[in-house]
Amino acid sequence: MKNIFGIEALEGAKSGIREAVDYARSLKDCRYADLRVGLVETRTASSENGNPKIAREDVHSSFGIRVIAGSPQTEAWGYYAQPLSKAELGGRALWKTLRQGIDRAYQRAMVSSQRKQALRELAPALSPVRLAPVEVRKDTVTARFEEDPRRIPIKEVLSEAMNITRQAKSVSPEMRFAFLMMATGLTRELFFSTEGTELDQAYALTNATLLVVAQKGSAIPESFIDHIGGHGGWEAVRGKNVYNKSFLDFALERARDTAELAGAEFLPSTEKPVTVVTEPHFNTLLVHEIIGHPTEADRALKMETAYAGRSWLLRRLDDNEFGKQVASPLITAFSDPILEGYGNYKYDAEGVPGRRVTLIEKGVLRGFMNSRETAAILAQEPNGSMRATACHYVPLVRMTNTVIAPGDRNPQDILSEVEEGYYIVNHRIPSISESRENFRMSAQKVYKIENGRLTRLYRGGGITADSRDFLMSIDAVGNDFIVLPIPNCGKGQPMQVMRVGNGGPTLRGKARLTGEYAR
């Protein structure tokens, strides 16, 4: 199938982008510039209780330009971005649009530099932007899939969504509502810089978000939202995904769990920490909130304070947790875009190769995910952690596939050793402190553990603890490692929603129980 306005359209854009980069090089006091031009093709459909809601085919293209310019003592960033129409993607029209964008980004950088210069007497700490050096690269990364998303009729996407919600709604008399939004598509992005890097990357993504609601009699309803999918084509719908389940089987399982919970009692709170065993799905959100975000270097360096908070791991450059014990010696955590998962890619939005970053090694803080600018500040090598939702957004330091590494224990053995405790299953909603130094996180299900066996089932609760205390309390780490999708990680202003991979194995530690409803 040939799409006259699809990702192939970017092939003819390369000459115009090169010309724009040459123009940026010619500007006085312009030390650096990069251009990102991207196009996304998607087929999206949704269904509610077996009925059609949305069915659409979208194509969206945009570009973003970053410039560093100004006096050598006060060089500053300038940024400009906008959508691109079909007509603007070819020939001289693209060159004209990009040139106007470069002029605006350059002007903004120059004004910022001048204002820095004027403020230096009041704020002598103001410094020029510096980028850590990287190798110049030229590369093409092609999308991987078995069933091309562009060959899937939109009617088939909608039909699949309708079938899934119809069957999910019918699993139990307690089921009241089933909604599914699913999409399959391709993304292609070009990255060109004045340093000479030229990258062409494409990837496929097929995913779905499920919402199910169940109610028993007049009791408080029980609801659950979860996500499935991965980098690839329509084959993900049939079971080639991290769960190794079809989207239908995944939805039916979540619907049955929710219907079962509709009749369960609510979890009571505890005043003191108790033994908890947290399984990989719950730990997906746990590692995201108390390890992933605090190890994003822009956040740790206070660049994101107003929008996303700070980090409990770095208070100041001379007051931080580098090289200190922040978790049990059983805990190693890393971020790795090479792993399969929503955070998988080869090059980031600065053209830097993604690589594994060890964040915590045997309980000791070792590093941060960074950008070229924050790497220069921290005297580290860039590790390829800058990402943006689309080309018209400013890149930010973001998690990739950020996980707790597997241990060597059988999860069943970890449970069987607990005389009295609780098994925490499937994450729901986080409530996190501004610096992530403590957390409250709700679970879909909580089981009482008595003499190594799961007994009573609870709903409406979770756990709370200081982040360091919880991580230090871990005394067992399972071998059941998995990376699961989180498609809705928010950061920045304007807000960017990013797909990331998080996960890990089963953990055993100490935390207080939190019931969601007063008793």
- Residue stretches of the chain with pLDDT short of 50: 1-4, 518-519
Q: In this structure, are residues 505 and 479 in contact, taking their beta carbons and an 8 Å threshold? A: yes
pLDDT tens figures, 164-216: 999 999 999 999 999 999 999 999 999 999 999 999 999 999 999 999 999 99
- Residue keyed to tokens 């360091």: 468
Please state, in angstroms and rounded to a whole number, the distance separating the CA atoms of residues 337 and 22. 31
Q: Where are the domains of the chain?
A: 7-199, 274-515
- Residue keyed to tokens 């509709």: 262
pLDDT of residue 4: 47
pLDDT of residue 5: 61
Please state, in angstroms and rounded to a whole number, the distance separating the CA atoms of residues 351 and 200. 10
Q: In this structure, are residues 390 and 60 in contact, taking their beta carbons and an 8 Å threshold? A: yes
Q: Which pTM value belongs to this model?
A: 0.95
pLDDT of residue 517: 52
CATH architecture group of domain 7-199: 2-Layer Sandwich (3.30)
Reported as half-sphere exposure (CB side, CA atoms, 13 A), residue 321 has a value of: 23
Beta bridge partners of 77: 68
pLDDT tens figures, 80-130: 999 999 888 877 889 999 999 999 999 999 999 999 999 887 877 788 999
pLDDT of residue 90: 73
Please state, in angstroms and rounded to a whole number, the distance separating the CA atoms of residues 509 and 273. 9
pLDDT of residue 519: 41
pLDDT of residue 7: 87
Beta bridge partners of 200: 140, 190
- Please give the DSSP secondary-structure letter assigned to residue 268: P
Beta bridge partners of 203: 187
Please state, in angstroms and rounded to a whole number, the distance separating the CA atoms of residues 166 and 154. 18
- How many angstroms from the chain centroid is the CA of residue 423? 26
- Which among 508, 467, 464 is positioned nearest to 270, based on CA atoms? 464
Please state, in angstroms and rounded to a whole number, the distance separating the CA atoms of residues 71 and 86. 38
pLDDT of residue 516: 64
